[in-house]
Structure 1
Amino acid sequence: MLNNKSINEIIKKKFANTINGYDPEEVDSFLDEIVDDIKKYLDTINQLEEENKNLKKLLKGE
């Protein structure tokens, strides 16, 4: 599963420049979008895990 270390690896990843390569700014922009999405997904997962834990407690009568 992705974690903050994985996200930081994506953020810091550098690609070699070549004459016929990709536009570095376009790649960086795309990676930024991916990182933002991953952070949102991780936040959602954490919220759902907490909600699940609380609902399980309610079912047990705690």
Structure 2
Amino acid sequence: MKYNMGVTGLHEEIMEFYNFVSPRPEEETMRKEVVKRIESVIKDLWPTADVQIFGSFSTGLYLPTR
């Protein structure tokens, strides 16, 4: 059996799944860089624009691009 029995096993399985679906640090860095580049282009075109990130990326709940 891969996991312990009961609540402890459930916790272990949830943590393993979380680690599997969590974006890797380099992926987060890459996405942040893309956001900065897009924001830069928008600010060049419209200097007074307020760029807001929304959705799963802004909350940190996005899935990796595996």
TM-score band by shorter chain is 0.3 to 0.5
TM-score with structure 1 length normalisation? 0.36
